[in-house]
Amino acid sequence: MSDGAAESTKRPRRILGFVSLHYVPAFVAIVAMVGILVYADWQHQSAAYQEQRLASLDRLNQISSKLQSDIQGNLHLMRGLVATIEALPDMQQAQFSQIADQVIQGQTQIINVAAAPGLVVRMVHPYAPNTAVLGLDYMKSPTQREAVLMARDTSAPVITGPVNLVQGGQGLIIRLPVFLPRENGKREFWGVLSSVVSLEALYNRSGLLEAQRTERLAIRAETRDGLPPEYFFGDKALASVDNISVSLDVGRETWVIYAAPKSGFGLSFADIWLFRLQLLLAEAIVVLPMVWAGRLMQERQRNLVMLHEREEAMRLLSHRLQVALETSQIGVWEYDPTANLLVWDERMKVLYGLPALARTACYQDWKDALHPADFAQAQREFTEAATGAGEYRSEFRVVGKDGSIRFIRAIGNAYVDSKGRKKIVGVNWDVTEDIRLQADLRRAKRQAEDQNRELEKAHLRMENAALHDALTGLPNRRYLDQVLADMDGAPGEADVTVLHIDLDRFKDINDTLGHAAGDVILKHAAQALKLNVRGSDFVARIGGDEFVVVSRMPGTVEEHSDMATRLVEALSKSVDYEGHECRVGASIGIASRTDASEPVEQLLVDADIALYEAKRRGRNRVERFNETLRLNAVNTKKTADDILRGLEQNEFVSFFQPQFDATTLEVVGLEALARWDHPVKGLLGADTFLKIAENLKVLAAIDEIILNQALMQLNRLKLAGMPVQKVSVNISAQRLREEGLIERLAALPILPGTLSFELLESTSFDGHDGELVPQIEKIRALGIDIEIDDFGTGYASIVTLLKLTPRRLKIDRQLIQPIVDSEPQQQLVRSIIDIGRSRGIEIVAEGVETMRHAEILRDLGCHYLQGYALARPMSPADLLPFLKARNWMPQPLLENVG
Ligand code: C2E
Ligand code: CA
Ligand code: CA
């Protein structure tokens, strides 16, 4: 469908693009009226113009002929005077005056008369004012001569002027020749009679001055002998405007009088517009009704078009609605509650399974189709909508004739029709599919949720594994950290107590009976802990044989201490492992807080300090964190800072304690021992800082410093010609595990057999430190000897130690000291020496405090001796003088030798 074509039939065509057809008559009328108007206007103006010109001309003619006749009249009078002179040529002044006075007879135009016989003025009238002229010889007057002669020669009057008069104003001069008749019929020239005529008088009489009130006037004289024309009256500019003119002959001249109205010919501006206004008014009276009619027609047309468009839109809308209802299978119904009448469209019938053309549906059809289970509710909802004013919204099932069940959704709205009757109109549609889909979705959602729950469980299991210790099932360190962090995040729980538990002698069992036994002990310990804490307490295993209990229950100090004591007792009970009765002890450190602002992590640190104290005080006991411990901790912290500073300032130096051959007492080696040359406290021994340095993880650094100084010292002694063979340095477990150690040692200039590393027997070489064994192998491969230090104090299995095949064993001074007084102790030392010798391991005894000790040890077969009896540790400066002085050698012995 073409909109353009439809439009052209509906919309009025336009002329000139903007005037609608309805305005054509009005438009034509306006054009015609404008034509008429213009013509009438033109006609009106030109008629007025002509009329005015004619009137003007008429007036001018009158003036002109009056002028003419007056001049002629004057000439006539003068002629009469001439005739008198001809008759009385010898008259004298008195007679002349009398005659002239008679002739003029009070005539005002003639100002004076002069008679000049023989061209010399002899008589004048009036006499008195003109006596001056008497005797004037015209032949001698250049202004008069020509005119006078012309009058004589032409025998005709000569009129000249205008001339300015002596008495003011202008005048015409009329000159008449006077001839005296003679007997022979000839005439003899007598002279001239001249008179002056007042022009003002002439003008006045002719009406010229009168006319000047309304008109512009001008007079021009045209002389016959070709002189330029000359204006002598009025406005000479008049010649150049629209005017009229008449001419008259005055003597030898022709005068042209011009005239034009002051406002010009034609109508005044106001007159023109008044006329035009009248015309316009007349036109408006004709045209306006036509425009109005056009407007009405246009409006009508527009309304028609609008109506058409609305109809079209309506048609389109209902078409769309039809299509929409058709495709969506939505049925429309209308219910009239007053008449209890229900109207269904065809689709409603399809929805409810009624034959299409059967009959009109009724309320009963709907009720019959409802599913029995939904009947009551559907019914109620519909009634509510029908009685109330509001919306109708319902969903119900209907049962088809074939027994199939469908879900129907119904929506309706009440409205009042044009007759004021309330009705409800609404729609129904089949939502069976939707509902099925929703059910499917719900099912899928449930499944997904189930899966999520499974995943969650798996995740929990995994997390549990990550947060628990596999062996004991207790929470691990990570879990503990989380619990503590959570407690810090959640305010309010002020009362917290932390117990840090460490099993005593656990390592011994592990080393002697193996890991399996250790595992049994740990499981037993975990069980014992769980049994002896309160339900809300949190128990974790945080390391090999370390446990933590976090108690959030408020309780007195005694209650917690009692619990700790109970735990120590429970943990100390013996456990049977493959017939062995295994027994461990436990040390416990306790720390509590009652102030929520104190970080829980600090409690763990404090409990650790208390635990350390418990162990220091002999193990198998409970120690509570207190002010003293806190102060110690603070001191330790201070010392730690001081150590770091000391390291930077190179305050750590090496002292050297000589080692002697047990038989010859010659110095064979040195042990390098760390000292701190403190700027304030002076020289500090190893026991004051080594433990803290170890915790600070700077022990390896100190070891390295000492090693370098030891190598330097050995070199120095060698250069000094001293027979010292070797130097020993103590090496910490930290140093052993240090990264890049082997590479750094390899770079040092070490002669095989000149350097020993002393390893503490308490260092655990197997178990989780098992990696130390290959490390020691590498050190040995560099030509560095290995010595086991403090031998006999630790609980290391001798088998493990021997696997390291050390070069020497250093028997601890705790074992050496009693040998002087105790036979069994001597036996013990002897057996150690024997084992060593049988394996080719050299024996060093330390803590040799008396020469008696030295003798016994020599006799027991010990190779080397070290102790205060022979030499104390000394500074490098003291070393050389000491070695040279040889003061340690026993004098009597020397005498004997000598
Ligand atoms: P140690 O390896 O057993 O060193 C011998 C210790 O015994 C030294 O104490 C020494 O002064 C002392 N001593 C020597 N002869 C006698 C004696 O006849 N009677 C008594 N009662 N004591 C004697 P010091 O220098 O205080 O060192 C203590 C411990 O510190 C050393 O025991 C060693 O384990 C450690 N140590 C010392 N220097 C270093 C070092 O540079 N690195 C490492 N890792 N540990 C070191
Ligand atoms: Ca040592
Ligand atoms: Ca030692």
Average pLDDT over residues 290-311: 91
Atom number in ligand 1 closest to CA 655: 25
Q: Starting from the CA of residue 707, give the closest ligand.
A: 1
Which residue among 660, 699, 730, 820 has the greatest number of ligand 1 atoms within 8 angstroms of its CB, and so is best to mutate?
730
Weakest-pLDDT range from 18-22, 125-129, 294-298, 410-414: 18-22
Residue 5 pLDDT > 90? no
User: What percent of the chain is predicted at pLDDT more than 70?
Assistant: 94
Residue 869 pLDDT > 60? yes
In sign, the C-alpha dihedral spanning 75, 80, 86, 90 is negative
Average pLDDT over residues 106-134: 87
Distance CA 205, CA 64 (A): 11
Atom number in ligand 1 closest to CA 789: 2
Specify the pTM: 0.46
Average pLDDT over residues 320-327: 86
Atom number in ligand 1 closest to CA 685: 26
Query: Which pLDDT belongs to residue 531?
Result: 92
Query: Which pLDDT belongs to residue 16?
Result: 54
User: 836 burial class (0-12, 13-18, 19+ CB within 10 angstroms)?
Assistant: buried
User: What percent of the chain is predicted at pLDDT more than 90?
Assistant: 43
User: 369-396 pLDDT, tens per residue?
Assistant: 899 999 999 989 888 888 876 688 999 9
Residue 242 pLDDT > 70? yes
Contacts of 593-598 with C-beta under 8 Å, sequence gap 24+, read 593/494, 593/495, 593/496, 593/497, 594/494, 594/495, 595/494, 596/491, 596/492, 596/493, 596/494
Atom number in ligand 1 closest to CA 686: 26
Better-predicted residue by pLDDT, 369 or 879: 879
Cα 503 to ligand 2 centre (Å): 28
Cα 673 to ligand 1 centre (Å): 6
Better-predicted residue by pLDDT, 238 or 886: 886
To the nearest 10 degrees (0 to 180), the angle between helices 199-206 and 24-87 is: 130
Query: Which pLDDT belongs to residue 343?
Result: 85
Query: Which pLDDT belongs to residue 458?
Result: 80
**Local structure of 751: helix, strand or coil:** coil
Query: Which pLDDT belongs to residue 740?
Result: 93
User: 192-225 pLDDT, tens per residue?
Assistant: 999 999 888 888 888 888 888 888 889 888 875 6
Average pLDDT over residues 438-447: 93
Query: Which pLDDT belongs to residue 156?
Result: 86
Residue 155 pLDDT > 90? no
Cα 844 to ligand 1 centre (Å): 14
Query: Which pLDDT belongs to residue 757?
Result: 97
Under the banding of pLDDT at 50, 70 and 90, the label for residue 13 is low
User: 898 burial class (0-12, 13-18, 19+ CB within 10 angstroms)?
Assistant: exposed
Q: Count Cα neighbours of 166 within 13 Å in the Cβ-side half-sphere.
A: 7
Average pLDDT over residues 173-193: 88
Which residue among 684, 690, 698 has the greatest number of ligand 1 atoms within 8 angstroms of its CB, and so is best to mutate?
690
Atom number in ligand 1 closest to CA 732: 44
Q: Starting from the CA of residue 672, give the closest ligand.
A: 1
Query: Which pLDDT belongs to residue 669?
Result: 96
User: 556-611 pLDDT, tens per residue?
Assistant: 778 888 889 999 999 999 888 888 888 899 999 999 988 888 888 889 999 999 99
Shortest-distance Cα residue to atom 17 of ligand 1: 847
Q: Starting from the CA of residue 816, give the closest ligand.
A: 1
Chain-centre distance for alpha carbon 154 = 119
Better-predicted residue by pLDDT, 92 or 229: 92
Cα 792 to ligand 2 centre (Å): 14
Cα 837 to ligand 3 centre (Å): 19
Query: Which pLDDT belongs to residue 897?
Result: 45
Cα 139 to ligand 1 centre (Å): 181
Q: Which residues line ligand 1 (CB under 6 A)?
A: 657, 673-674, 685-687, 690, 699, 702-703, 706, 730-732, 758, 789-790, 813, 846-849, 867-868, 873
User: 769-795 pLDDT, tens per residue?
Assistant: 566 888 999 999 999 999 999 988 766
Cα 664 to ligand 2 centre (Å): 22
Cα 876 to ligand 2 centre (Å): 18
Distance CA 498, CA 31 (A): 115
Contact 96, 126 (CB under 8 A): no
> Which residue from 509, 531, 512 is spatially nearest to 520, judged by alpha carbons?
509
Cα 872 to ligand 2 centre (Å): 13
Query: Which pLDDT belongs to residue 237?
Result: 84
Q: Which residues contact 690 (CB under 8 A, 6 or more apart)?
A: 674, 699, 702
| Strands 391-399, 341-344: pairing kind | unpaired
Distance CA 694, CA 633 (A): 15
Average pLDDT over residues 689-695: 93
Question: What average pLDDT does the chain have?
Answer: 87
Atom number in ligand 1 closest to CA 758: 2
**Domains of the chain in sequence order:** 50-261 (3.30.450.350), 331-430 (3.30.450.20), 471-625 (3.30.70.270), 640-886 (3.20.20.450)
Q: Starting from the CA of residue 660, give the closest ligand.
A: 1
Weakest-pLDDT range from 278-287, 441-450, 651-660, 664-673: 278-287
Query: Which pLDDT belongs to residue 870?
Result: 96
Average pLDDT over residues 35-48: 90
Helix (H) or strand (E) holding 654: strand 652-661
